[in-house]
Homo-oligomer: A and B are copies of this chain.
Amino acid sequence: MGSSYCWLSLLLLSSAILNIYFVSNSYIEGKGKVKVKVGWSEEAAAKAEEVASINCSNHGRAYLDGVISEEDGKPVCECNTCYGGSDCSLLSPNCAANADSGDPLFLEPFWMQHAASSGVVVAGWHRMSYVFPDSTYISQQLETHIRLIHRLTRNALTHGKRIIFGGGSTQLLNAALYALSANLSSPASVVAAVPFYPLYKQQADFFQNNNYKFQGDAWLMRNSNSNVIEFVTSPNNPDGNLREPVCKGPSARPIYDHAYYWPHFSAIPSPSDEDIMIFTMSKLTGHAGSRLGWAFVKDEEIYTKMQMYITVAEMGISREAQVRALQLMKTILHGDGKDLFNYAFEKMSDRWGKVRQIFSKSKRFSIQEIPPLYCNFFERVRGASPGYAWVKCEREEDIDCSGVLLAANIIGREGSRFNSDDRHVRLSLLKSNDDFNLLINRLHKLVDQEQAVSSF
């Protein structure tokens, strides 16, 4: 009797301890220091966790809205390039290393490591209205956090400038073009210094408009007195160099595309303080799929016209993207706010180091030089860490450089796409670890072959 009493007491104690554990587990700290129980959102949370726990061998991931497997009714693994099999464990041996697109998946592991702080629950009734309470399409909280991040990274002076959100920087580039070219005495020439991001030309050509015409290389319009609108991409896509406007005429107006002006990709020598500066989530947090960009605009009239563009085009951008972006920004700003930037810089810097080392052994290929610079964010001189390698084929016969790389099973983007020549190819360095590792592997082989041949 005594022993069973003792045994019962012990059982009760452990049961009570288990109870305490469960109670403390199901009540967790809210922001305002109030403890809240998880109730209606539990179903959504469980679904998200179930999907996240699907094993894709670290070479892919499953998503809530992925295609459903016929076998087990769960979303299938979506594998990284060159990986396959139901759990992404199979590497196709002869698959090409794809370094074509600027898909910023290099930051995916960062967000997986910050799962708890970066997730967000979108309630069924979240922001159904066309507008926020101030009748805008813009979350004031998100705006505030974006401005804080610019202050932290010291890459832009945002004080005294209005903000506009758009569908990626993509939509804002065109909105700025519309705004600057409206009501001019004569149609504007749209230019960018070669090599330049292909979208500028593609957009201007597609949205045929009487107010402007794409004219190609900025250097041809350098001293023009006519209306010129110049896209100034700084750091530049494809070559990663910081840029100033080429066109300095009295009627020249620049649009600064600062997509890559973050410590990830470049030193921040001084804050940008231009009339129109465009940024994007895609290259800050790596969320290209959110289609969320922002522009800072100094001039009230240009601001109003750009805002009108966004209104007429689609009445502002998704509230889901905005509430999610806010949570990502909060995660970035947590603590001293340097975690993401350290992670991104170290990764891109390491990748650039590897690429440089390989090409340093080559006479057949060269890549761009980016000088070390003092960085106001890191408060020291730092080396380059560009998003892309801008590769040149040096041999006279190699006029189709992307063809040369393709023969080595590497997919790059042809120089002619950037209004340059096909002696150049852009290789993307900001994709997933798998993509980058495969690229390095193939580049090694290619350059080793060259040395093997030359050593005969």
Q: Which A residues lie at the B interface, using CB under 8 A? A: 1, 4-5, 8-9, 11-12, 15-16, 18-19, 22-23, 25-26, 28-32, 34, 36-50, 52-53, 61, 63-68, 72-74, 78, 101-105, 107-108, 111-112, 114-131, 133, 139-142, 166-168, 170-171, 174, 199, 202-203, 206-211, 282, 286-292, 308-309, 312-324, 326-328, 331
List of B residues within 8 angstroms of A321 by Cβ: 318-321
What is the minimal beta-carbon distance from A90 to any residue of chain B, in angstroms? 16
Q: Is the CB of A48 within 8 A of B123?
A: yes
- Residue from B31, B49, B131, B209 in contact with A207 in the complex, judged by beta carbons closer than 8 Å: B209
Kindly state the separation between the CA atoms of A139 and B320 in the bound complex, as whole angstroms: 16
- Residue from B206, B316, B318 in contact with A292 in the complex, judged by beta carbons closer than 8 Å: B318
Kindly state the separation between the CA atoms of A22 and B24 in the bound complex, as whole angstroms: 11
Kindly state the separation between the CA atoms of A209 and B52 in the bound complex, as whole angstroms: 47
- Residue from B12, B26, B74, B167 in contact with A11 in the complex, judged by beta carbons closer than 8 Å: B12
List of B residues within 8 angstroms of A9 by Cβ: 8
Q: Is the CB of B103 within 8 A of A130?
A: yes
Residue of B nearest to A319 (CB): B289
What is the minimal beta-carbon distance from A96 to any residue of chain B, in angstroms? 15
Q: Is the CB of B124 within 8 A of A119?
A: yes
Q: Is the CB of B39 within 8 A of A49?
A: yes
Given contacts A28-B42, A128-B287, 7 further A-B contacts (CB under 8 A): A42-B45, A45-B121, A112-B124, A115-B124, A128-B286, A167-B313, A170-B312
Q: Is the CB of B206 within 8 A of A207?
A: no
What is the minimal beta-carbon distance from A110 to any residue of chain B, in angstroms? 8
- Residue from B45, B61, B125, B207 in contact with A61 in the complex, judged by beta carbons closer than 8 Å: B125
Assuming the contacts A122-B120, A317-B291, asked whether A41 and B49 have C-beta atoms less than 8 A apart, the reply is yes
Kindly state the separation between the CA atoms of A64 and B119 in the bound complex, as whole angstroms: 12
Kindly state the separation between the CA atoms of A46 and B19 in the bound complex, as whole angstroms: 20
Kindly state the separation between the CA atoms of A26 and B248 in the bound complex, as whole angstroms: 65
What is the minimal beta-carbon distance from A378 to any residue of chain B, in angstroms? 24
Assuming the contacts A38-B38, A287-B128, asked whether A50 and B74 have C-beta atoms less than 8 A apart, the reply is no
Kindly state the separation between the CA atoms of A130 and B312 in the bound complex, as whole angstroms: 24
What is the minimal beta-carbon distance from A420 to any residue of chain B, in angstroms? 21
- Residue from B42, B64, B289, B322 in contact with A130 in the complex, judged by beta carbons closer than 8 Å: B289
Kindly state the separation between the CA atoms of A54 and B317 in the bound complex, as whole angstroms: 26
Q: Is the CB of A123 within 8 A of B128?
A: no
Task: Pick the most buried of A31, A78, A117: most chain B CB atoms within 10 A of its CB.
Answer: A31
* 24 A-B interface contacts by CB (under 8 A): A8-B12, A22-B22, A38-B38, A39-B49, A40-B115, A41-B44, A41-B49, A41-B119, A43-B116, A44-B327, A64-B120, A64-B121, A64-B323, A67-B133, A114-B124, A115-B123, A126-B324, A128-B288, A171-B314, A206-B312, A210-B210, A313-B313, A318-B318, A321-B321
Kindly state the separation between the CA atoms of A166 and B121 in the bound complex, as whole angstroms: 24
List of B residues within 8 angstroms of A37 by Cβ: 46, 49
Q: Is the CB of B50 within 8 A of A34?
A: yes
Kindly state the separation between the CA atoms of A318 and B320 in the bound complex, as whole angstroms: 8
- Residue from B15, B26, B48, B125 in contact with A25 in the complex, judged by beta carbons closer than 8 Å: B26
- Residue from B123, B133, B291 in contact with A316 in the complex, judged by beta carbons closer than 8 Å: B291
What is the minimal beta-carbon distance from A325 to any residue of chain B, in angstroms? 8
Q: Is the CB of B108 within 8 A of A130?
A: no
Residue of B nearest to A44 (CB): B119
Q: Is the CB of A289 within 8 A of B314?
A: no
Q: Is the CB of A44 within 8 A of B124?
A: no
Q: Is the CB of B328 within 8 A of A124?
A: yes
Which 5 pairs between the two chains have the least Cβ-Cβ distance?
A118-B124, A167-B314, A22-B22, A48-B121, A320-B320
Q: Is the CB of B64 within 8 A of A126?
A: yes
